[in-house]
Chains A and B, each alone.
Chain A
Amino acid sequence: MAIRERLSGNEAVAIAMRQINPDVMPAFPITPSTEIPQYFSSFVANGKVDTEFVPVESEHSAMSAAIGASAAGARTLTATSSCGMALMWEELYVAASNRLPIALALVNRALSGPININADHSDSMGARDSGWIQIYSENNQEAYDNFVQAFRIAEHKDVQLPIMICQDGFITSHAVENISLLEDEEVKNFVGEHDPENFLLNSKTSMAVGAYATPAFYMEAKKAQSEAMKNAKQVILDVAKEFKALSGREYGLFETYKLEDAECAIVIINSAAGTAKDAVDNLRAQGKKVGLLKIRVFRPFPAEEIAEALKHCKAVAVMDRSDSFNAHGGPVCAEVKSALYGLDKKPLVVNYIYGLGGRDVKVENIEEVYAALEEIAAAGKVEDDYRYLSVRA
């Protein structure tokens, strides 16, 4: 039976963690982290979980401890945000290259400076090449659902990669909304037992973790990571199918909204997608053929599928909530453009950098983007393909 609740995004993820009942959670327990470790540590203190909670002295140590625990054979998760993730950077790569299925709850917030605590995607987008699977969430429900699915994806024998489940700082992490929770037993059965093939505490076979790889071996290790990431795509879809059977809620690599016959479309990630759907409905009511593609899975990047979904559009705006500072466009746009490159007939593409450091995104702001797309489609060309939305001149 589904449980009708109202929770903040932080509470929702903490409850998913409680239902998963992991073996180990190392986490830095204060700012820049979120309330997630705080809620979870209360579950530990109250005996609701059997987890070993390790309150470490930094995020670098949090990820180091997660690596050690996961390599030992423990189901391990952690949580962080913003510059907390930045302090994990070195270890993110170590977790991925050692093929450790750690789950990380990331609350997307800006990196300093100027000093700012609010939502944008500069933390996770900066880590996009670290070898972690990245899944994004529009609202509290999706943050919860994605976290419930995380270990099934990460621990799959064809994958064995760490996974981060992302949601927007404050906008969903600290906002109370309606949510439908699964029963504890349902989650427990869905996630199942962790049964790693190789692990350090296995007394029957000895193994080394974190070994030095000379040039004779390094590239093979990287190629194996690359293959695992390719495999993740199908596993994510298979897990989503099972999750739908359990919850009734459908997930894919991305979600399309009124895209099938759309002439103008935007590509967007996380909470602003909900705001953009309201804009789509407003414009559809005026007879405009507009639609939306919300990316759920950014790593692995569903390039062919996105190209197929967008190929009929005349003009597409790719929305980036972080900038690459390459003087050319944001990271999401770079991926989408390169996905479209192989098409014979391509939509015109414009990139918008938006919502940095928590700059609010209103329905009207998204409507402005669609108005610009209409002009681009009519003109048949893009004058300036790298723009900032809602910014003072």
Chain B
Amino acid sequence: MAKTLEIRWHGRGGQGAKTASLLLADVAFNTGKYVQGFPEYGPERMGAPITAYNRISDDPIRVHSNIYDPEFVVVVDETLLTAVDVTKGLKEDGAIIINSEKSGEELRPLLNGYKGKVYTIDARKISVAALGKYFPNMPMLASIVKVANVMDEADFLEEMQGSFKHKFASKPEVIEGNMQALRMSLQEVK
């Protein structure tokens, strides 16, 4: 069976982790891949931990289960590190990306002995600088695209520009801020 890239998102209700997973499905789809993007629904309330998933493959995807052994994990909210076992099943040759102002090595003690790569991105700083508000999902999206090497960075930015034109047709003034957040995030994730 062909290799399928599996990604798991951890966020809190209202932060846009589901939207980010759907946007990742969109951009991967636009590179010609087969994709899945789906949230796991529990009680829907602001602030509750939520999980979302992506599969990306060169071949049609038939499996319809959740993802238990992902290559990559994206943590949209740092406070989840002590609440949810975010590295559960995460492959050691994969990576975790955490929204935090701290470094990966500072956070590693919270990761239940995970030995793979740890990336961090200060999504709050970037989002506030680029958009004037805290929306962490664009920085997290750019980070996973870069770290998982989902597609060429220039193609990604071009793709997102097109998608924002459509998505924000009624408020074009927010497009540049979102693009800026993506560009800064591609530089700053480490």
Contacts and interface: CB of A to CB of B under 8 A. Distances in A.
A172 B29 CA distance: 17
B41 A271 contact: no
Interface in B44-65: 60-65
Contacts of A175: 36-38, 64
B164 interface: no
A272 B66 CA distance: 12
A174 B39 contact: yes
B1 interface: yes
Interface residues of A, number: 26
A89 B4 CA distance: 42
A178 B35 contact: yes
Given A176-B38, A178-B29, A278 B63 contact: yes
B33 to A, nearest CB: 8
Interface stretch (A18-26, A190-198, A217-225, A359-367): A359-367
Q: Which of A6, A271, A278 has the most CB of B within 10 A?
A: A6
Interface residues of B, number: 20
B37 A176 contact: yes
A272 B63 CA distance: 8
Given A6-B35, A174-B38, A274 B29 contact: no
Interface of B: 1, 22, 25-26, 29, 34-39, 41, 60-66, 68
Contacts of A274: 62-64
Contacts of A172: 64
A170 B44 CA distance: 14
A118 B68 CA distance: 19
Given A117-B41, A278-B1, A281-B1, A176 B36 contact: yes
Interface string A59-94: 000000000000000000000000000000000000
12 contacts: A6-B26, A139-B62, A175-B36, A175-B38, A178-B60, A274-B64, A275-B65, A277-B62, A278-B62, A282-B1, A362-B68, A363-B63
Contacts of B61: 177
